[in-house]
Chain A
Amino acid sequence: MSALAAHGGTVAALSNYVFPNDWHVHWSLMIVLYPYITGIVAGAFIVSSLYHVFGIKQLEPISRYSLIFALAFLACATWPLLLHLGHPERSYSMLITPNPTSAMAGFGFIYSAYFILLVHEILFIYRPTMVTLWKQSTGFKRWLYGFLAFNNDNLSPEAIRLDHRIISFLAGIGIPMACILHGYVGFIFGGIKANPLWATPLMPLIFLLSACVSGIAGIIFSYILIKKFTGQEIDVDCVRTSIKFLWGFFILDFVFEMLEVFTHFYMNTHHWHVLENLLWGPLYNTYWLYQVKIFSVIPFIVLGVLSLFKFKDRVILFFAPIVSFMILIQVLLMRWNVVVGGQLMSHSTRGQVTFVPEWLGREGILVAIFIMIAPVVILFILSKIFPLWVNKEAANEQPIT
């Protein structure tokens, strides 16, 4: 279950001392993916809310898609956790007999509540569409659409108004819940005082901001890709607006990530000396080189230029997927550097280990790739049931402001 960290020659120096039990990196790829996936979910929900709650009309073309996208990823969010547990068959006890003082024990409840909310929001937003499809289809599809439309084909103005009130309510509580979902994931790490890299009150905030960033980037990247592959028209105005939001959130995210490190550097406590050895030691490449220099600074500049200057459509459509993909990698690297990085320094504060994930095995790279492909497959299946794009005849919903 835990890969034995490579040791010996890799981390040389006579003064490197690691506590004997600290050679194991217990939280590996699966726990890297867990906050990554929940972050994408929370971020995608924020995109939808920008239209449904805050009335950003340019985002209408992706407002429905982002909810289905969120659901596809949310459906897989627990997989890495179950794969990580030594005894997944006992995981239900976190729900039945949770320990109230444990930060981890809340996840099942927060996850379930969010799942229920997201499904209901989708169903109410899609109800007019479902009713139309219900009336048009036959056999199993007819039964399915009827079920998804709550078996109610009332599309009178009063019924639609009620739907909108419900959507408004769900989207309204959905925003704080999305924030809680991911801020809470940050708290799981931020509340561990024994780990100098994790123990910062900024951790939930950084996790939340990076979640928004990864969700928006995921939506832009997949939106352009799906539209290009299916030969449909891309709403460039929508992409431009999304890019601006992506930049905005990324400014906050990146600045707070850097401020966190800088504050520790400035305070220069023992805490910093431990972190310094980590960030300039085993984490140097994945943190400074990849996360900061390549996948933060470059997208930061590209996004800024794309947002501030007027470019032709094809320039936007060329750079937007590239920069979005880079942001997705940035967030994945950030998760890696926090989750794995935090475990590369021993509690002895005198030593570090290195860690290379295994390919095979329950928490290996192959399983990680499978888990990241799974939401795409689920999204494809969901797209067969829920039309991803707002059709003119079904678009009788209005942003709720």
Chain B
Amino acid sequence: MIDIKKEIQQDRRAFIKKVLGGTIAGSLLLVIPATAQEVAEEIPGMRAEDSVFTKKKFVFIVDITACIGCGSCCVADKAEYNVPDHNYRTWVERYIIDDHDGVYVDSPNGGLDGYTKPREGLPYPTRDTFFVPKLCNMCEDPSCVQVCPVGATYKTNDGFVLVDKTRCVGCSYCIQACPYSVRFINPVTRTAEKCTWCYHRVRKGLLPACVSVCPVHARKFGDLSDKTSEVWKILHEPHVISVLKPDMGNKPALHYLGLRREVV
């Protein structure tokens, strides 16, 4: 007590100044609406004032060498979009190669339940196994956009292929045209639906839901026009990188790191 009294007496004026400043600052925070973001920015530069969204070039990279087949991405996706059962915006495939070079692929329930048990009944011992997550390829030349008779499927200026469910007539032509089978008809809305790379999240600077939940960072997303981004570095380093079905000519923006020749 004596010490505090001494302190106060030493610089009473400075003490009052500090208390007053703190009170005013605290009151101001209550009066002025908070401008701080609730969730921290996940894609660098997205919320910058000079950020032009349409100038960005987003890419998605799936690292096959990292995926552990836990199915978290599928769970996150189903929760994010309330995806009806037996339809898949994203799924994870399990590849097994035996020592006779036989290739066995499965994806029970789209990998939603995770791969907790080894596959049974295969004739020969397993030589190699890996997981391949699949999602919309966001093609530069998308077949679905080409064939949609009413323009309900369209490409935004920032390169996202989206579906307007208020325009879709439900003809399923886009489903026939997509070489990657990422589309389905939602039995509730009776319109075409597919992965959007979480456009609504990306526009707010957040990563796609599946990317943010991946525990091993096998799903990567970013802006290729940002040379400091991880995706830029990966695509400009000497990795084994490819896209799915390149001979289709759709030029996907979904790249696979460590893609194996068995993967279709």
Chain A contacts for B86, CB-based, 8 A: 4, 20, 23
B167 in the interface (beta carbon within 8 A):
yes
Interface flag for B20 (CB, 8 Å): no
Across the interface, do B149 and A104 meet the contact criterion of CB distance under 8 Å?
Answer: yes
**A320-351 contact mask (Cβ, 8 Å, vs B): 1 or 0:** 00000000000000000000001100111110
* Beta-carbon contact of B181 and A22 below 8 Å: yes
A243 to B93, CA, bound (A): 55
CB of B173 within 8 A of chain A? yes
Residues of A within 8 A of B187 (CB): 1
Would B184 and A84 count as touching, CB distance under 8 A?
no
**Which one of B32-40, B56-64, B98-106 contacts A?**
B98-106
- B169 near A349 with CB under 8 A, answer no
Q: A1-B187, A15-B103 are in contact. Are A99 and B169 (CB under 8 A)?
A: no
Among B176, B181, B248, find the residue whose CB has the most chain A CB atoms closer than 10 A: B176
User: How many angstroms between the C-alpha atoms of A87 and B191 in the bound complex?
Assistant: 8
Cβ contact within 8 Å between B169 and A350: no
**CB neighbours of A2 from chain B (8 A):** 172, 185
Asked whether, in the complex, the Cβ of A14 is within 8 Å of the Cβ of B104, the reply is yes
* Contact of A27 with B106 in the complex, beta carbons under 8 Å: no
A-side contacts of B175, CB under 8 Å: 21, 26
Contact of A20 with B107 at beta-carbon distance under 8 Å, contacts A14-B121, A87-B191, A105-B149 already known: yes
Cβ-defined partner of A86 (8 Å) among B102, B105, B106, B168 = B168
Q: Once bound together, how far apart are the Cα atoms of A191 and B93, in whole Å? A: 29
Let me know if A85 and B170 touch, CB within 8 A: yes
CB distance from A271 to the nearest CB of B (A): 10
- Asked if B126 lies at the interface with its beta carbon under 8 angstroms from chain A, I say no
B182, CB-defined interface residue at 8 Å: yes
A90-B169, A350-B264 are known contacts. Are A98 and B176 too (CB-CB below 8 A)? no
CA distance A346 to B91 in the complex (A): 15
**Cα separation A244 to B88 with both chains bound (whole Å):** 53
Q: Which residues of A lie under 8 Å from residue B150 when comparing CB positions?
A: 90, 93-94, 97-99, 102, 105
With A1-B187, A195-B176 known to touch, is A348 a contact of B264 (CB < 8 Å)?
yes
**Smallest beta-carbon distance A28→chain B, Å:** 10
Is B110 close to A, CB under 8 A? Answer: yes
Bound complex: CA A20 to CA B84 (Å)? 13
Q: Please state if A194 and B248 are interface contacts (CB–CB under 8 Å).
A: yes
Do the beta carbons of B181 and A19 come within 8 Å of each other? yes
Are A24 and B180 in touch, CB under 8 angstroms?
A: no
**Contact of A347 with B172 in the complex, beta carbons under 8 Å:** no
Q: Does B87 contact A (CB under 8 A)?
A: yes
Q: List, in ascending order, chain A residues with CB within 8 A of B88's CB.
A: 20-21
Give the total number of A-B pairs whose CB atoms are below 8 A apart.
136
Residue of chain B at shortest CB distance from A96: B150
Q: In this assembly, does B190 line the interface, its C-beta being within 8 Å of a C-beta of chain A? A: yes
With A2-B185, A194-B178 already in contact, the answer to whether A86 and B170 are too (CB < 8 A) is yes
- CB-contacts of A94-151 with B (<8 A): 94, 97-99, 101-105
Given A22-B181, A86-B169, A194-B176, residue A102 in contact with residue B148 (CB < 8 A): yes
Asked if B65 CB lies within 8 Å of chain A CBs, one says no
B122 within 8 A of A: yes
Q: How many residues of B contact A (CB 8 A)?
A: 49
A105–B152 alpha-carbon span in the complex (Å): 12
| Residue of A90, A98, A105, A195 with highest tally of chain B CB at under 10 A | A90
List chain A residues, Cβ under 8 A from B168. 86-87, 90
**Minimum CB–CB distance for A1 against chain B, Å:** 6
Q: Verify if A373 is at the interface (C-beta below 8 Å from B).
A: no
On chain B, the residues within 8 Å of A398 by CB distance are none
Q: State the CA gap A349–B263 with chains docked (Å).
A: 10
The distance in angstroms between the C-alpha atoms of A342 and B173, with both chains bound, is 13
Check if A102 sits within 8 Å of B149, measured CB to CB: yes
Q: Evaluate contact between A27 and B176: CB separation under 8 angstroms.
A: yes
Q: How far is the CA of A211 from the CA of B187 in the complex (A)?
A: 34
B179 and A84 form a contact (CB under 8 A) = no
Tell whether A91 is near chain B: CB-to-CB under 8 Å. yes
CB–CB B180/A102 < 8 A: no
B16 within 8 A of A: no
Indicate if A392 sits at the interface (CB-CB under 8 A): no
Other-chain contact of B167, A19, A90, A104 (Cβ < 8 Å): A90
Give me the interface of A with B, judged by CB distance under 8 Å. 1-2, 4, 14-15, 17, 19-24, 26-27, 84-88, 90-91, 93-94, 97-99, 101-105, 191-195, 342-343, 346-350
Q: Can you list 22 pairs linking A and B with CB atoms under 8 Å apart?
A: A14-B104, A14-B121, A14-B122, A19-B134, A27-B176, A86-B171, A86-B190, A86-B191, A88-B169, A90-B168, A90-B169, A93-B169, A94-B150, A98-B149, A99-B148, A101-B145, A101-B146, A104-B171, A195-B176, A342-B176, A350-B105, A350-B264
**Given pairs A15-B104, A350-B264, 6 additional interface contacts (CB within 8 A):** A19-B107, A21-B182, A26-B185, A193-B143, A195-B176, A347-B264
* Cβ-closest 9 pairs across A and B: A86-B170, A86-B190, A26-B172, A17-B105, A194-B179, A19-B181, A105-B149, A104-B149, A99-B151
